[in-house]
Amino acid sequence: MGYFTTEMICSNCGEKYPLDDNLRSCLRCNGPLLLDNKLEEISGKVTKNTFSNRIRGVWRYLELLPKIDSKKIVSLGEGGTALLNCERLARNLGLRRLLVKDETTNPTGSFLDRGMTIDVSKANEIGIKSLRCSSASGNFSASASAYASRAGFSCTIHLSKEIISKLNLGKLYQIIAYGGNLVIGEKPTNYDVLNSEKSYVLSSSNPYFAEGEKTTAYEICEQLQWQTPDRIIVPMGHGEHISMIWRGIKELKALGLIQNQNVTMTGVQIEGYASLVDQLQREKTEKISAGKIKTIATDLVMKNPTHGDLAIRSIKESKGKGVKVNDSEIFYSLSLLARTEGIFAEPAAASTIAGLKKLIDLGQIDKDEEIVCIVTGAGLKDPSTARKFIKKVKTVNRIISQIESKQITTRLGRTKFEILKIISSKETYGYEVWRNLKQILGIDFDISSVYQHLSELENAGLIRRTKIESVLGKPRRCYYSLTDRGMTTIKSAK
Ligand SMILES: [Zn+2]
């Protein structure tokens, strides 16, 4: 079972629409659509006991989710995550009670699995076996690929330039491992293009997806013996998670499962990408630059948060606030959380601890509050941030260099290795490398292949460009030298 609905409602202007899988946003104001679930109709039919004997996870709260044929449910055991009492971290921050909702333990390591199970189940019920996502974070694409595989469906992921620039390696590895089809290029401009190919378009702004994210609120309240905490702190990317947590809280109150809804919703954004927090603080909104993304919390970089207005309204209704943090604050908090509590979060996820610390420092939090920080995703998704920790630890650095250079030397072909050796003896340019190589290898070959090797070695971080020389009448010369990594590679091969 599950609740029955025939209508969607625009969360911004209230316009109602009949259920339509092709309609993803309001035709009047472009606002996100939510399912009009009329939960009051089941009021009195669900009690705390309704859920208590079921296994933990998103589908435990069946009655509060949209009706989907139970045979069509696609699940990897998402949700049901721990609410950890973090005494050491609380002491460190001078708080009475701090809890972490540890979403890193979801099937693909991110809270998005909560929405994905519902959206993919819906696709399964409709009978569309081809899934697509076009505007997505790395975590979203990883989750989509996993659930598609679980259902036996195909999943095509459109990677725009913007998404590629913020894709963490761990997430890319996940997508590949789950068998997602990566298509590089701008996303299709409208859903009709996708739907004409009979694909189901997955998106965090889908009304079914959003319903799954409410379950974070249900779980927190149930885990606190059907009480609300004083404050819930949530990272804001598109703003749908904080909005849906607040919606979930209000639903529990309306159903009489909790006595009050006195919980202040607190949203965190990154400096430079904090349009929602700026609006809350009535500051002039910084223009988000189109260029290179300058934060480690890449999944929180959203130019136009789909649920921005709803997030702001949720925060205002709950008398909460917004806070923005910077990378060094996130980095510090990520480390603190891992070391004091054994929870290894990715940067976007650790932003809630950073936001909490900032509000404490600003004197804007009562230290007697019971606070829940949502930690939305796992640390290994972003290995490049993880390895910044170990920069200062010599032994670890040596171990990593050895592991990597061993991998690199076994992967490098003879030609590339000879090129490295040539460059290690002196800073040089492509044409010189080509001449030397011909001598060493004793074969004639095309110079363009040398440039190809050089560009691959550069991408692998083994060599770098040092200068470009313009000589009149001749092609420009680009000089290369070895990086530290290139040097280690040569040494370990000897
Ligand atoms: Zn609207």
DSSP 318-337: TT-EEEEE-HHHHHHHHHHH
Q: Identify the residue whose tokens are 């969360």.
A: 11
> According to the model, what pLDDT value does residue 288 have?
64
More confident residue, 460 or 148: 148
Ligand 1 center–CA 28 separation, angstroms: 5
How would you classify the pairing of strands 428-429 and 477-482? antiparallel
Residue 132: both structure tokens together: 């697509």
Judge whether residue 154 has pLDDT over 70.
yes
Residue 408: enclosing H or E segment and its boundaries?
A: helix 394-411
Ligand 1 center–CA 9 separation, angstroms: 8
> According to the model, what pLDDT value does residue 42 have?
83
More confident residue, 414 or 246: 246
What percent of the chain stands above pLDDT 70?
93
Residue 242: enclosing H or E segment and its boundaries?
A: helix 240-254
Task: Determine contact, residues 76/49, Cβ cutoff 8 Å.
Answer: no
**Greatest pairwise CA separation for the chain in angstroms:** 86
Ligand 1 center–CA 27 separation, angstroms: 7
- The CATH-assigned architecture of domain 397-493 is Orthogonal Bundle (1.10)
Residues for the chain: how many in total?
A: 494
Ligand 1 center–CA 32 separation, angstroms: 7
> According to the model, what pLDDT value does residue 246 have?
98
Ligand 1 center–CA 15 separation, angstroms: 5
Task: Determine contact, residues 13/26, Cβ cutoff 8 Å.
Answer: yes
165 φ, ψ to 5°? Answer: -65, -15
CA dist., res. 323 & res. 396, Å (int): 35
What's the mean pLDDT when you consider all of the chain? 90
The residues, ordered by sequence, that sit 6+ positions from 361 with a Cβ below 8 Å of its Cβ are none
Q: Give the domain ranges of the chain.
A: 83-107+210-389, 397-493
> According to the model, what pLDDT value does residue 299 have?
86
Ligand 1 center–CA 36 separation, angstroms: 14
Ligand 1 center–CA 31 separation, angstroms: 5
More confident residue, 235 or 397: 235
Which of 108-122, 269-283, 442-456 has maximum average pLDDT? 108-122
Q: Give the DSSP letter of residue 160.
A: -
- Find the helix packing angle between 113-126 and 138-151, rounded to 10°: 40
pLDDT band at 190 (very low <50, low <70, confident <90, very high): very low
Which of 73-77, 403-407, 466-470 has maximum average pLDDT? 73-77
Ligand 1 center–CA 127 separation, angstroms: 29
Ligand 1 center–CA 20 separation, angstroms: 15
pLDDT (mean) for 224-234: 98
The residues, ordered by sequence, that sit 6+ positions from 231 with a Cβ below 8 Å of its Cβ are 263, 264, 265, 266, 320, 365, 369, 370, 371, 372
Which of 177-191, 262-276, 294-308 has maximum average pLDDT? 262-276
Ligand 1 center–CA 16 separation, angstroms: 8
Ligand 1 center–CA 35 separation, angstroms: 13
Judge whether residue 59 has pLDDT over 70.
yes
Long-range residue pairs from 254-258, CB within 8 A, at least 24 positions apart, any chain:
254/39, 254/40, 254/43, 255/39, 255/42, 255/43, 255/46, 255/64, 256/43, 256/44, 257/46, 257/47, 257/48, 257/221, 257/226, 258/221, 258/226, 258/227, 258/228
Provide the CA 177 distance to its chain's centre, in angstroms. 17
Judge whether residue 259 has pLDDT over 90.
yes
Ligand 1 center–CA 186 separation, angstroms: 26
More confident residue, 92 or 42: 92
Closest CA to 172 of 145, 205, 200, 132: 145
pLDDT band at 409 (very low <50, low <70, confident <90, very high): low
Judge whether residue 49 has pLDDT over 70.
yes
pLDDT (mean) for 345-361: 97
- In words, the CATH class of domain 83-107+210-389 is alpha beta
